C-alpha cells in the first residue's frame, strides 16, 4: 500500500532531550516536507527536500534539523526541544513540488515537550 | 510576505445543502493552488490542484475555481454529506519549482443532519 509513515505517533519528552521523528515513504517520491500544525496558526512548513542530499528551510525552521540521505526517509531532528515545539507534526511527500503533483501526508506525530 | 487567507473560519450547514469556501492569496511567484480536506487528528488529503491556466477543477462533489487575476479561489461543496465535516485548507505553492508552500488557516465545516 502506498503510504507515508511517521514514528512515533505520540511522544512526551522533556526540554533539552534530543529526539528524532522518522518519516518514510514507499512511493519513490523525490519531494518530502515537514510541517507543524498549531491551533489558530494552521500548517506551517518547517523544512523540505527536493531530492536526496537537497534540503531547504521552510517558514519555521528554527530549532529543527533534517537530513535526506536516502530517497525514502526524511527524519526531523530536534536537537534541544523546547516547550514551544509542542505541536502536531506532519510529514508529506510527492513526486515533485510543482505542476500537478498530489502531496501525500503521513498520519501525524503529536509531540509534547515539558 | 506570502499569505493565504480563508473565509469563513467555520460554518455549519444542513445535510444536502451546498456551500462555498473562499481563499485569497498574496503569493509570488505563483506556481499552483491546492485544496485539502483534513479530518480531525489526521493528515490532510488532496482534493484538487490547479495551475495558473486552470479556472476550475472538480473532484466528485467538490469543485474548485481559480481567478489568477484577482488571486482568489473558491471550493464549492455540492449536496453536502455528514462525511464532509472537516477542515478545508487552501495551499498555494510559490517559486519556480513550486516548493515553498503557504497554508491558509482553514475553514472548519460541520454538516448537520
| A39 and chain B in contact, CB less than 8 A | no
In contact, A110 and A31? CB cutoff 8 Å: no
Higher pLDDT pick, A106 / B97: A106
Query: What pLDDT sits at residue B98?
Result: 63
C-alpha–C-alpha distance, residues B5 and B15, integer Å: 26
Rounded to 5°, the CA angle B95-A4-B58 comes to 60
What's the pLDDT band for B27 if we cut at 50, 70, 90? confident
CA distances from B50 to A43, A85, A94, A95 (A): 20, 33, 16, 16
Query: What pLDDT sits at residue A62?
Result: 97
Q: What's the pLDDT tens digit per position in B2-15?
A: 789 999 999 999 99
- Maximum mean pLDDT: which of A21-35, A39-53, A96-110, B28-42: A21-35
For residue A56, which residues of chain B lie inside 8 Å, CB to CB?
A: 99
- Maximum mean pLDDT: which of A25-29, B41-45, B51-55: A25-29
Kindly report the number of other CB atoms within 10 A of residue A3's CB atom. Answer: 12
Is 80 exceeded by the pLDDT of residue B1?
A: no
Give the phi and the psi of residue A29 in degrees, each rounded to 5.
-75, 145
In contact, B76 and B20? CB cutoff 8 Å: yes
The alpha-carbon gap from B89 to the nearest alpha carbon of chain A, in Å, equals 9
User: Do B49 and A44 make contact, defined as CB atoms within 8 angstroms?
Assistant: no
Is 80 exceeded by the pLDDT of residue A99?
A: no
Query: What pLDDT sits at residue A100?
Result: 59
Is 70 exceeded by the pLDDT of residue A97?
A: no
The grid coordinates listed for A3 are 503510504
Amino acid at each position: 500500500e502506498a503510504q507515508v509513515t511517521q514514528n512515533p505517533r505520540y511522544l512526551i519528552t522533556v526540554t533539552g532531550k534530543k529526539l528524532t521523528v522518522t518519516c518514510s515513504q514507499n512511493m519513490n517520491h523525490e519531494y518530502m516536507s515537514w510541517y507543524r500544525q498549531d491551533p489558530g496558526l494552521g500548517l506551517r512548513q518547517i523544512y523540505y527536500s527536493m531530492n536526496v542530499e537537497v534540503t531547504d528551510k521552510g517558514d519555521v525552521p528554527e530549532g529543527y534539523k533534517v537530513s535526506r540521505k536516502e530517497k525514502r526517509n526524511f527524519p526531523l531532528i530536534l536537537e534541544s526541544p523546547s516547550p514551544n515545539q509542542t505541536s502536531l507534526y506532519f510529514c508529506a511527500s510527492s513526486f515533485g513540488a510543482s505542476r500537478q503533483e498530489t502531496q501525500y501526508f503521513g498520519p501525524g506525530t503529536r509531540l509534547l515537550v515539558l | 510576505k506570502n499569505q493565504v487567507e480563508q473565509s469563513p473560519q467555520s460554518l455549519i450547514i444542513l445535510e444536502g445543502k451546498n456551500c462555498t469556501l473562499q481563499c485569497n492569496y498574496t503569493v509570488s511567484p505563483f506556481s499552483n493552488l491546492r485544496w485539502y480536506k483534513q479530518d480531525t487528528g489526521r493528515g490532510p488529503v488532496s482534493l484538487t490542484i490547479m495551475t495558473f491556466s486552470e479556472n476550475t477543477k472538480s473532484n466528485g462533489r467538490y469543485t474548485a475555481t481559480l481567478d489568477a487575476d484577482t488571486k482568489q479561489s473558491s471550493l464549492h461543496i455540492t449536496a453536502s454529506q455528514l462525511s464532509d465535516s472537516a477542515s478545508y485548507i487552501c495551499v498555494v505553492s510559490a517559486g519556480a519549482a513550486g516548493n515553498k508552500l503557504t497554508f491558509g488557516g482553514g475553514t472548519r465545516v460541520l454538516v448537520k443532519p
